[in-house]
Amino acid sequence: MTAVAILGASGGIGTALCKLLAQRPDISVIHATYHESSQATAAQGASDGEASAGVRIVWSRVNATDERAVCAWVESLGTVDWLINCVGMLHNSSHGPEKSIRVFDPEHFQRSMSVNCLPTLLLGKYARNALKASQQPVFATISARVGSIEDNHLGGWYSYRASKAALNMSLKCLAIEWFRLSPKIRVAALHPGTTDSRLSKPFQQHVPKAQLFSSDKTASLLIEQIEQLHDRASGQFIAYDGEVIPW
Ligand SMILES: NC(=O)c1ccc[n+]([C@@H]2O[C@H](COP(=O)([O-])OP(=O)(O)OC[C@H]3O[C@@H](n4cnc5c(N)ncnc54)[C@H](OP(=O)(O)O)[C@@H]3O)[C@@H](O)[C@H]2O)c1
């Protein structure tokens, strides 16, 4: 039986992962977090669809940028097989992604770094004990292709791109350190593809229909990738279709 923990299970992708995993008989428990969404909304989204297969979902309110909150959540988990971080932000009520450096805002930059990168470093600091007793442990964070430096041909989106590049570097460092300490654990950055969610809503108009995934489709593709991580080396940046993205 697989025990799963999802940080950010109240977002589009996190909710869909939670919902699909809750339908599987091989999953025993899902530890799921929300932050500013209400627990009721998150829990409703996660239990939509077919009846769950008796999977226990344990909800906690966690600010993923608060070290004490992340530490306390991780210490409450016991052993987990898959730890998946779905927390992220692209825009908020006052700022969107920058088309030009002229509109760069230090506060938005710091907020982006904090939400997109810090939670993974905090999980890295506290979660190895929860993972190391598993037979096939996985720590996956949802990154974004636009965080690839080599793949950047358009520019713009300074804060989001920089924070995802920082996230990617953090995951790479962690993969190297954990390979020495707990070589069973697979660490990965996952690119979900453009997915219909709150995060992408304002930026969907130029996305061809076939390239805009429902959150259920994305979740199912990401689960496939997570299941194959033990056939790969740790510390890779992997897209929803299995492509290895250059850092
Ligand atoms: N959607 C896409 O097209 C796309 C493409 C590439 C990469 N991604 C990445 O995929 C991940 C998930 O995105 P999504 O589309 O599902 O976005 P979303 O629907 O906006 O969900 C964002 C999630 O992050 C959580 N969150 C934000 N700040 C938090 C904090 N300080 N503490 C705890 N939780 C916090 C939110 O919790 P509350 O709502 O409870 O506050 C929510 O669960 C992100 O990392 C995003 O960058 C998405």
Q: 91 CA distance to ligand 1 centroid (A)?
A: 10
Confidence of residue 47 (pLDDT cuts 50, 70, 90): confident
Looking at residue 42, its pLDDT comes to: 80
Helix (H, G, I), strand (E, B) or coil at 93: coil
Q: Supply the CATH number for residue 24's domain.
A: 3.40.50.720
Q: What does the pLDDT look like over 82-128, one tens digit per residue?
A: 999 999 999 999 999 999 999 999 999 999 999 999 999 999 999 99
Whether 84 maps to a domain, the answer reads yes
Query: Is pLDDT of 51 > 60?
Result: no
Whether 22 maps to a domain, the answer reads yes
Helix axes 118-126, 106-116, angle to 10 degrees: 30
Q: 58 CA distance to ligand 1 centroid (A)?
A: 19
Tell which one of 20, 35, 65 to mutate to probe ligand 1, the residue whose CB is within 8 A of the most ligand atoms.
35
Whether 59 maps to a domain, the answer reads yes
Total count of residues recorded for the chain: 247
Torsions phi, psi of 186, nearest 5? -95, 130
Query: Is pLDDT of 40 > 90?
Result: no
Looking at residue 52, its pLDDT comes to: 66
Query: Is pLDDT of 49 > 90?
Result: no
Whether 247 maps to a domain, the answer reads no
CB 15 within 8 A of CB 9: yes
Looking at residue 50, its pLDDT comes to: 57
Query: Is pLDDT of 161 > 60?
Result: yes
Average pLDDT, the chain: 96
Weakest mean pLDDT among 35-39, 59-63, 222-226, 227-231: 35-39
CB 58 within 8 A of CB 46: no
Q: 59 CA distance to ligand 1 centroid (A)?
A: 17
Could you tell me the CA-to-CA distances from 9 to 182, 189, 207 in Å, in that order? 26, 17, 25
Please name the residue whose Cα sits nearest to atom 47 of ligand 1: 88
Tell which one of 7, 13, 60 to mutate to probe ligand 1, the residue whose CB is within 8 A of the most ligand atoms.
13
Whether 245 maps to a domain, the answer reads no
Domain of residue 44 covers 2-239
Q: 201 CA distance to ligand 1 centroid (A)?
A: 12
Whether 173 maps to a domain, the answer reads yes
Ligand 1 binding residues, C-beta < 6 A: 8, 10-14, 34-37, 62-65, 86-89, 115, 142, 144, 192, 194-195, 197-200
Q: What is the number of domains present in the chain?
A: 1
Whether 27 maps to a domain, the answer reads yes
